[in-house]
A and B are shown apart, each in its own frame.
Chain A
Amino acid sequence: MEGIRSSTRSRDLLRKIKEFTLSILEALSEGRSPLIFIQSFRTYCTNLDSICSCRSNKPSGHEILTFQKESHVHRIDVLLRVLLIVQQLLQENKHASKRDIYYMHPLIFSDQSVVDRAINDICILLQCSRHNLNVVSVGNGLVMGWLRFFEAGRKFDCINSPNTAHTIPVLVEDVKDLSFRWLPHADLVSAALYILVVEKESVFQRLENDKFCSKNRCIVITGRGYPGVPTRRFLRLLMDKLSLPVYCLVDCDPYGFDILATYRFGSMQMAYDAKFLRVPQIQWLGAFPSDSENYDLPKQCLLPLTIEDKRKTEAMLQRCYLHQEVPDWRSELELMLQRGTKFEIEALSVHSLSFLSEVYIPSKIQEIKSICQV
């Protein structure tokens, strides 16, 4: 995405790091504590009384780190150490994971979460994304279907094998020549018509086994649970370049819903970067509580919501975006809580293994299309 400009980006960041350090030194040499001003971001709030600005990408507040507060001292120590490591990474043009960074000083850092927070703070201070710092995440996603691109010399091509799964590239910068059009002959043009995001690997496997992409011209992605940063960036890249409709298929349970919300609104953890990671156009394909009647789900497949599930659902219902942006999502979630039951996508395969590929998904997509046309 920033490809060619990455070296200028690095130089920029290195300069900012120097400036930041100088400002701290200046403060110290004048005998006062440096004040480190860190903005806070969030993807949602639970203040339902007024219209909030959570989607405006503006900070929701700030904190000021200072040596005068004992609780801040360790945090500043960690921040500076991580900053030093980041500087090295940028200077040597190397990449490291958050875990690698933790291992540089495991006894001082004491926990991975401490490092994670420092990295987030640095991103906010330097006004950049995590990957700009050369900090990478583990890749975990899979993609298959009508897509063609190059990644670091490897060609991912659907031409002969739309049903072959590939790992989603870890460094989205490496993705080049993205195309979803296939021209086997000059006069024939085929293209992907939509992107389907599925929560679980097992559902991805089902679609693979059913050769879903041979019969449906689409791209299928899974983040294998809560999507990691590479998966979210990749999906965002596809959206930016291809502008296709995106449908999301999750289990009808609180965690499925949370995953859907992560794709759509971003995660709290990465709130400062949400504008680059979220996909606002993503639509909830299923599964809905109402699907259990509409698709004849046997009662045994409806599992009861646990106390944890109920707590989580109640907490999620307080999120501002459920009242402002997507009130229709809220009514489904309320229905789930009311009924006190949940079910997984696999339950839809009970009557027939090909039910998901041949009936459920196509009919759901048709439903969404007809609503949009009204």
Chain B
Amino acid sequence: MDDLSKSSMKFFSDQQLCFADILLPHEVQVRIQVTVLNFLNILSSPDPAISDLPLINRKSSNSRVSEGILTDVSWIFLSHSFCSRSLMKANATKAFIRVWKVMEMCFEILIQDKRVTQRELFYKLLCDSPHYFSSQLQVNRTIQDVVALLRCSRYSLGIMASSKGLVAGRILLQEPNQEAVDCSACGSSGYAISGDLNLLESLVMKTDARYIVVVEKVHAIFQRLAEDNVFNQIPSILLTAKGYPDIATRFLLHRMSRAFPDLPILALVDWYGSATRTKDLFFQLSHSSISKNPAGLAILSTYKFGSIGMGLEAYRYACNVKWLGLRGDDLQLIPQQSLAPLKPRDLQIARSLISSRILQDNYRQELAVMMQSGQRAEIEALYSNGYDFLVKYLAKKIVQANYI
């Protein structure tokens, strides 16, 4: 893109932004009814036609990057390019019907003032319309179609999602009419982040922490830090989503960053980890991302910028996350025996991350160093220096403000 269109893009970026609203049940019901009415209107007009359903295009060609002008936050978002589901396209008629079926089902569920899991929805659709639905994947894709059509979040449609997120540290969380939970006294298992976004929205938060530390892995890192009470030595809040962050965790982190804007958010991720996906992690279309050990930097980027995979909902929860470690200068702390050679997939991911336009220059440099060294390491490798080393490492880096 040349400079002129880039700058005019920045100026109009918000107009370009397409996003999913978080709506109340009756608001979603209204949007569904409007969709139906529109369709009927055109069908019963003097020049009748079966209209197509316009969906926000979820391909990378419709993704844009908004670079923060007044803030440090950049994000990925989807713009107004449409694709459509049409009854008129021979091999796409079922996809068209599926969208209506899911809307109908969600409407019924919302009327009952209930929620469903994606699996329950699958079974209901399987029994209600066996000709149209045969797999969970189909159901998930159709749900994304409905999100792209009605431009409301998946959660607003009444679909429950679980969260794998945990919080520990110097923060008090209080649900309405409940006692406040002190997350520094939650043991090493932490406070479980609910999948209910309404509940997360209503939490009252109080903290005296100075940092928020986002950790990739629960096993060795989050639990260890919580057990060692790191947040009392360095006044902080610990957060993890057990790998790739789900919407609820990102939502809560975003709320924290808004409520406590002075707290830097620092990420501690593996130096690569072992990737399980070959596709470019920024531009994948499947919504649920449950892989064992995706590349650490890709996880950080999801917290930071969002991802196309989260489509219309992504942009909302981008946070200014800084990369604490593991980085190039940490290699010297790790003994040779704990380093493993880079796998071909790691290089693939690195290459696509480097070429991504949203990545800042110093990250690109770090990546280049990594690729050159040809090695990878997991955070636990730091334990070879002793169990309390992780806390010392964290403290030193924070005090030296050694994060980018």
> In the bound complex, do residue A151 and residue B187 qualify as a contact, i.e. CB atoms below 8 Å apart?
yes
In the complex, B169 has a CB within 8 A of chain A = no
Q: How far is the CA of A271 from the CA of B175 in the complex (A)?
A: 42
> In the bound complex, do residue B127 and residue A100 qualify as a contact, i.e. CB atoms below 8 Å apart?
no
Binds A, one of B58-66, B148-156, B178-186: B178-186
Q: How far is the CA of A21 from the CA of B2 in the complex (A)?
A: 72
> In the bound complex, do residue A344 and residue B119 qualify as a contact, i.e. CB atoms below 8 Å apart?
yes
- Residues of B with C-beta under 8 A to A170: 187-189, 223
- Distance from A3 Cβ to chain B, minimum over Cβ atoms (Å): 15
Binds B, one of A39-47, A200-208, A364-372: A200-208
- Residues of A with C-beta under 8 A to B188: 136, 139, 170-171
Considering the complex, which residues of chain B in the window 191-231 have a beta carbon less than 8 Å from any beta carbon of chain A? 191-192, 194-195, 218-220, 223-224, 227
Which of B117, B190, B191, B387 contacts A96, CB < 8 Å?
B387
> In the bound complex, do residue B218 and residue A138 qualify as a contact, i.e. CB atoms below 8 Å apart?
yes
In the complex, A36 has a CB within 8 A of chain B = no
In the complex, B120 has a CB within 8 A of chain A = yes
Whether A350 touches B178, Cβ cut-off 8 Å, given contacts A94-B387, A100-B380, A103-B338, is no
In the complex, B126 has a CB within 8 A of chain A = yes
- Among residues of A, the one whose C-beta sits closest to the C-beta of B126 is A300
Whether A167 touches B166, Cβ cut-off 8 Å, given contacts A95-B227, A298-B127, A350-B127, is yes
> In the bound complex, do residue A97 and residue B123 qualify as a contact, i.e. CB atoms below 8 Å apart?
no
In the complex, A169 has a CB within 8 A of chain B = yes
- Among residues of A, the one whose C-beta sits closest to the C-beta of B194 is A165
Q: How far is the CA of A65 from the CA of B130 in the complex (A)?
A: 59
- Among residues of B, the one whose C-beta sits closest to the C-beta of A152 is B187
Considering the complex, which residues of chain B in the window 102-132 have a beta carbon less than 8 Å from any beta carbon of chain A? 109, 112, 114-117, 119-120, 122-124, 126-127, 130
In the complex, A186 has a CB within 8 A of chain B = no
- Distance from A154 Cβ to chain B, minimum over Cβ atoms (Å): 5
- Distance from B271 Cβ to chain A, minimum over Cβ atoms (Å): 13
**Interface of chain A, main secondary structure:** mixed
> In the bound complex, do residue A209 and residue B160 qualify as a contact, i.e. CB atoms below 8 Å apart?
yes
> In the bound complex, do residue A103 and residue B384 qualify as a contact, i.e. CB atoms below 8 Å apart?
yes
In the complex, A161 has a CB within 8 A of chain B = yes
- Residues of B with C-beta under 8 A to A160: 177-179
In the complex, A153 has a CB within 8 A of chain B = yes
Q: How far is the CA of A105 from the CA of B336 in the complex (A)?
A: 10
A-B contact pairs, 14 of them (CB 8 A): A97-B220, A106-B340, A155-B179, A160-B178, A167-B192, A168-B189, A170-B188, A201-B162, A202-B162, A205-B195, A209-B115, A298-B127, A300-B126, A354-B114
> In the bound complex, do residue B185 and residue A153 qualify as a contact, i.e. CB atoms below 8 Å apart?
yes
Which of B116, B179, B340, B383 contacts A353, CB < 8 Å?
B116
Q: For chain B, which range describes its interface: under 10, 10 to 19, 20 to 34, or 35 or more residues?
A: 35 or more
In the complex, B278 has a CB within 8 A of chain A = no
Additional A-B contact list (15), CB under 8 Å, known A205-B160, A353-B109? A97-B223, A97-B224, A100-B380, A103-B384, A107-B338, A160-B178, A169-B189, A170-B187, A171-B188, A202-B120, A205-B195, A209-B115, A301-B127, A346-B119, A350-B127
- Among residues of A, the one whose C-beta sits closest to the C-beta of B192 is A167
Q: Which residues of A contact B (CB under 8 A)?
A: 92, 94-97, 99-100, 102-108, 136, 138-139, 142, 151-155, 157, 160-161, 164-171, 174, 201-202, 205-206, 209, 230, 298, 300-301, 344, 346-347, 349-350, 353-354
In the complex, B22 has a CB within 8 A of chain A = no
In the complex, B21 has a CB within 8 A of chain A = no
- Residues of B with C-beta under 8 A to A151: 186-187
In the complex, B378 has a CB within 8 A of chain A = yes
In the complex, B44 has a CB within 8 A of chain A = no
Q: How far is the CA of A69 from the CA of B215 in the complex (A)?
A: 44
- Among residues of A, the one whose C-beta sits closest to the C-beta of B181 is A154
Q: How far is the CA of A346 from the CA of B194 in the complex (A)?
A: 20
> In the bound complex, do residue B187 and residue A107 qualify as a contact, i.e. CB atoms below 8 Å apart?
no
> In the bound complex, do residue B187 and residue A103 qualify as a contact, i.e. CB atoms below 8 Å apart?
no
- Among residues of B, the one whose C-beta sits closest to the C-beta of A165 is B192
- Residues of A with C-beta under 8 A to B87: none
Specify which of B117, B175, B179 lies most central, judged by the most chain A CB atoms within 10 Å of its CB: B117
> In the bound complex, do residue B337 and residue A106 qualify as a contact, i.e. CB atoms below 8 Å apart?
yes
Q: How far is the CA of A165 from the CA of B162 in the complex (A)?
A: 11
- Closest 10 interchain pairs by CB? A153-B185, A103-B380, A139-B189, A152-B187, A167-B189, A298-B127, A107-B337, A154-B185, A202-B117, A346-B120
- Residues of B with C-beta under 8 A to A353: 109, 112, 114, 116, 120
- Distance from A201 Cβ to chain B, minimum over Cβ atoms (Å): 5
In the complex, B381 has a CB within 8 A of chain A = yes
Q: How far is the CA of A161 from the CA of B175 in the complex (A)?
A: 10
- Residues of A with C-beta under 8 A to B160: 205, 209
> In the bound complex, do residue A103 and residue B219 qualify as a contact, i.e. CB atoms below 8 Å apart?
no
> In the bound complex, do residue B114 and residue A347 qualify as a contact, i.e. CB atoms below 8 Å apart?
no
> In the bound complex, do residue B185 and residue A349 qualify as a contact, i.e. CB atoms below 8 Å apart?
no
- Residues of B with C-beta under 8 A to A168: 189
> In the bound complex, do residue A103 and residue B387 qualify as a contact, i.e. CB atoms below 8 Å apart?
no
Specify which of B123, B124, B178 lies most central, judged by the most chain A CB atoms within 10 Å of its CB: B123
Q: How far is the CA of A139 from the CA of B195 in the complex (A)?
A: 18
Q: How far is the CA of A94 from the CA of B220 in the complex (A)?
A: 13
- Residues of B with C-beta under 8 A to A103: 220, 338, 378, 380-381, 383-384
> In the bound complex, do residue A138 and residue B112 qualify as a contact, i.e. CB atoms below 8 Å apart?
no
Mark contacts of B265-278 with chain A using CB atoms, 8 A cut-off: 1 yes-contact digit, 0 otherwise.
Answer: 00000000000000
Whether A138 touches B219, Cβ cut-off 8 Å, given contacts A104-B383, A154-B186, is yes
Q: How far is the CA of A41 from the CA of B380 in the complex (A)?
A: 32
Q: How far is the CA of A162 from the CA of B304 in the complex (A)?
A: 35
Q: How far is the CA of A354 from the CA of B186 in the complex (A)?
A: 32
Specify which of A97, A102, A174, A230 lies most central, judged by the most chain B CB atoms within 10 Å of its CB: A97
- Among residues of B, the one whose C-beta sits closest to the C-beta of A155 is B179
- Distance from A300 Cβ to chain B, minimum over Cβ atoms (Å): 5
> In the bound complex, do residue A99 and residue B219 qualify as a contact, i.e. CB atoms below 8 Å apart?
yes
Q: How far is the CA of A353 from the CA of B123 in the complex (A)?
A: 11
> In the bound complex, do residue A346 and residue B387 qualify as a contact, i.e. CB atoms below 8 Å apart?
no
> In the bound complex, do residue B120 and residue A105 qualify as a contact, i.e. CB atoms below 8 Å apart?
no
Specify which of A168, A202, A205, A349 lies most central, judged by the most chain B CB atoms within 10 Å of its CB: A205
> In the bound complex, do residue B192 and residue A349 qualify as a contact, i.e. CB atoms below 8 Å apart?
no
Q: How far is the CA of A170 from the CA of B188 in the complex (A)?
A: 7
Specify which of B115, B162, B185 lies most central, judged by the most chain A CB atoms within 10 Å of its CB: B162
> In the bound complex, do residue A349 and residue B120 qualify as a contact, i.e. CB atoms below 8 Å apart?
yes
- Residues of B with C-beta under 8 A to A97: 219-220, 223-224
Which of B123, B166, B182, B338 contacts A154, CB < 8 Å?
B182
- Residues of A with C-beta under 8 A to B162: 201-202, 205
- Among residues of B, the one whose C-beta sits closest to the C-beta of A139 is B189
- Distance from B309 Cβ to chain A, minimum over Cβ atoms (Å): 21
- Distance from A142 Cβ to chain B, minimum over Cβ atoms (Å): 7
- Residues of A with C-beta under 8 A to B186: 151-152, 154, 167
Q: How far is the CA of A142 from the CA of B164 in the complex (A)?
A: 11
- Residues of B with C-beta under 8 A to A349: 116, 120, 123-124
- Distance from A90 Cβ to chain B, minimum over Cβ atoms (Å): 13
- Distance from A259 Cβ to chain B, minimum over Cβ atoms (Å): 17
Q: How far is the CA of A206 from the CA of B195 in the complex (A)?
A: 12
Q: How far is the CA of A194 from the CA of B115 in the complex (A)?
A: 26
